Amino acid sequence: MSYQPQTEAATSRFLNVEEAGKTLRIHFNDCGQGDETVVLLHGSGPGATGWANFSRNIDPLVEAGYRVILLDCPGWGKSDSIVNSGSRSDLNARILKSVVDQLDIAKIHLLGNSMGGHSSVAFTLNWPERVGKLVLMGGGTGGMSLFTPMPTEGIKRLNQLYRQPTIENLKLMMDIFVFDTSDLTDALFEARLNNMLSRRDHLENFVKSLEANPKQFPDFGPRLAEIKAQTLIVWGATTALCRWMRVCVCCPALPVLNCISSATVVTGRSGNMPTLSINWC
């Protein structure tokens, strides 16, 4: 029997998660039936979802024999909205732990993009025994950089889009997030804009969260050496969003590589969303 591609509707699932005395309805997509599970965590861009951000990666992983979980973090996609005044990444990590606990999954491989990478680090630091392998794509440590002005241009454009969700601001953001925008059609931009406008509560609560706590992503830099999981760092050489310090021009992720003993770095002509960039060295 030939392989049947996964669809969003057929794999859509919901679970209730208790968080800070509240019950959150969390959405995820559950694809494939492999013995090993890969969890994909999206970034913090408005309109982001697990499915939208990783749609190109699902079928190859399922065909390779993995079960694939795509989580919509609270405040994105079909998951409940939330005003977060603490660590966003630790919140996402707690939500993910509850989901995999309820699914009776003992160990996962984690792949996170941007915020998803930072959240993957939070999960790994809190529950190292639950992580097999770790892939961090365009995700910062949350720490400051002595060599990159803060906030970065990417963060400025992302926050501007949250406050003023227009097609013009979306294109400005994607111009930084993606190395080659030639594949980003008007239809794709319209779909992403409609997606974010359909959940204005997510947009409004993200802004409220920043007002409650501008430091949504704490500095995990001092703890990176605790990570023992085999780690792959995918870093776009042209990214202007995060701040894995640009001390070394040839490989800006080297400071992180030096902290995680089992890490490997892959760099190329990509922005902050390598899954949408095809121009690799």
User: Which token pair is 35?
Assistant: 């013995």
Look at residue 2 and tell me if it is in a domain. Answer: no
154, part of any domain:
yes
Non-local (6+) Cβ contacts of 118 within 8 A are 89, 112, 139, 140, 141, 142, 217, 220
Domain limits for position 19: 8-276
What's the whole-number mean pLDDT along residues 79-88?
97
Residue 1, in any domain of the structure? no
CATH number at residue 85: 3.40.50.1820
Mean of pLDDT over the chain: 85
Q: Which of 73, 113, 78 is nearest to 92 (CA)?
A: 73
Q: CB of 121 within 8 A of CB of 220?
A: yes
Going from the C-alpha of 89 to that of each of 35, 42, 73, 149, 255, the distances in angstroms are: 27, 12, 10, 23, 21
Residue 251: its pLDDT value, please? 45
Q: Count up the domains in the chain and report the number.
A: 1
Class of residue 186 by CB neighbours under 10 A (exposed 0-12, middle 13-18, buried 19+): exposed
27 located within any domain: yes
Tell me, yes or no, whether 3 lies in a domain.
no
pTM above 0.75, yes or no: yes
Query: Among 38-42, 180-184, 213-217, 230-234, which stretch is predicted with the lowest mean pLDDT?
Result: 180-184
